[in-house]
A = this chain, B = another copy of it.
Amino acid sequence: MVFAGAPLDRGDALRRDEARVQDLMQGDEGWWMILSGGDALLQPDGNLFWFHPSEARTLALKPTRIFLGHYKGSACFAAEMEDDTALPAGVEPVDPRRAAMGMSQDEAALYGYARSILLWHQTHGFCAACGTETVVKGGGTRRQCPGCEKEHFPRVDPVVIMLATHGDECLLGRQTAWPEGMWSALAGFTEPGETLEEACARELKEEAGVTADIPSIRYVMGQPWPFPSSLMMGLIAPVSDASITVDTHELEAARWFHRDEVAAMLAGTHPEAAMPPSIAIARRLAELWVAGRI
């Protein structure tokens, strides 16, 4: 799955050692991934452009620097560039979804991690407990408040995304903002005080009015989703009552699709309906379901 499989040694012991991680980040070893407003900087071949520390030092970068970990024995770092930075010839910022489609699995996962954590720093510069401006610690893996001393760790928001099924049909919905004809699995954020399975049943009830039997809901697979920092948890949820009531605040429409219809959507041969691209876990869930593997 795109964005999963980061082949990193995140160096938990190393990043606890402030002096050592600072030395590493100011040194001449390793490689820097630079982002531009969350976009990836790509070479013409579609792979990430990694900057040597001496090259990274020539760029105008925002102050937050991240130690990502070691990849194939090299230390990897990430930072955001200022808007008007001049880039090496041929290097271009590319939209994250398009960039991820063209990158290797390894690079997409490294990029997703870098994007999530840099965005977290950009939107979490102040202490939520007291309002004081916080400082970066642990090679960018946490922040600390100089006022109340509270430590802040990056958010990971657990999201459930589920294929509700009823016999040979599965439930897909669409949002108004999506491209015409695109349908996908229903999804929503897990709230405090609920399991994944309970969040799944609640969202199905809220958005489509269908009732899932919680013990029959099964976890299939997960995907880190760096928009900005979700962990998508793919579930399959058999439901017994197929009548739908759409919450139009959340969805434009929801309806049941027969397995043959979903197969056509995946194959691109359906006359009007389509599934999201392969980057999306919803597509993978549909593929597994059509193949009878879940």
Residues B192 and A113 in contact, CB atoms below 8 Å apart = yes
Of all chain B residues, the one with the shortest Cβ separation from A197 is B222
Pick the residue among B3, B124, B222 that contacts A129 (CB under 8 A): B124
Residues of B within 8 A of A103 (CB): none
Does A241 have its Cβ within 8 Å of any Cβ on chain B? no
Residues A129 and B120 in contact, CB atoms below 8 Å apart = no
Chain A 210-248: CB-based contact to B (< 8 A → 1; otherwise 0):
000000000101111010010101000000000000010
Chain A 243-271: CB-based contact to B (< 8 A → 1; otherwise 0):
00001010000000000000000000000
Does A189 have its Cβ within 8 Å of any Cβ on chain B? yes
Interface residue count for A (Cβ, 8 Å)?
Answer: 60
Chain A 133-169: CB-based contact to B (< 8 A → 1; otherwise 0):
1000000010000000010111111100000000000
Residues of B within 8 A of A44 (CB): none
Given contacts A110-B193, A156-B158, 16 further A-B contacts (CB under 8 A): A1-B195, A12-B202, A116-B192, A117-B192, A125-B128, A125-B129, A128-B128, A131-B133, A141-B191, A155-B157, A192-B224, A192-B229, A195-B221, A195-B224, A196-B222, A196-B231
